[in-house]
Structure 1
Amino acid sequence: MSSLVDTTSRTDILNRLKRAEGQLRGIQRMIEEGEPCLEIAGQMSAVRKALDSTYVRMTVCFMQQELQQRLELSDAREDDLAAVLADVQNLLSKVR
């Protein structure tokens, strides 16, 4: 299995994970400070959504990378693939 080689995608995914990490630290602080459970649960839900979104983004990046490599696509076909995978990402983000 390959790793993410597209630097833009890798940066995007890392930034998303860093935001989720910040949200998790905020949740820890909320628990330490005795915040209400409903507020904490709301923040946990937000982190879960952020991680789910990041997972979908990483999966689509992997699919694009692998398909481009294995199918040896022309630039025009790569644009078509990018459009299809954008639709796939949109559809997967609605699952749940």
Structure 2
Amino acid sequence: MDLAEETTVDVDTSQLTDVVARLKRAQGQIGGIIKMIEDGRDCSDVVTQVAAVSRALDRAGFKIISTGMRQCMIAERDGTERPLSDAELEKLFLSLA
């Protein structure tokens, strides 16, 4: 079973405004990459932009996971049910590696 099917975590979107901004920039960069390819731009320029988008997406993913980890720590401190187990958090983290 896929992790996405196993677990749902409501992420506090107020803590992710910078992630949304980063993803919107990446979305624009992807459009630019498509145009670069269509225009026949040099492959090294295209690859440089792909690498930049990849880093932006990785950072967004790590920020989302760290927010989930923070929610687990708060739940543990408050004695409430944790949204993710340690194994689920590890699997999410490693999915970006």
| Percent of aligned pairs with the same amino acid | 32
The C-alpha deviation readout for 1:26-71, integer Å capped at 9, x for no partner, is 1011011110011000000000111111111111011001211232
Mapped to 1, the partners of 2:13 and 2:33 lie a distance apart of 32
Tell me the residue number matched to 2:76.
Answer: 70
Mapped to 2, the partners of 1:6 and 1:30 lie a distance apart of 33
* Correspondences of 1:41-52 after superposition (within 5 Å): 41-52=47-58
5+ unaligned residues in a row in structure 2: which ranges? 1-7, 80-92
Aligned residues: 74
Structure (1/2) with the larger helix percentage: 1
5+ unaligned residues in a row in structure 1: which ranges? 74-91
Mapped to 2, the partners of 1:6 and 1:25 lie a distance apart of 25
Post-superposition shift, 1:6? Answer: 4.6
2:26 pairs, out of 20, 27, 36, with 20
TM-score by length of structure 1 reads 0.69
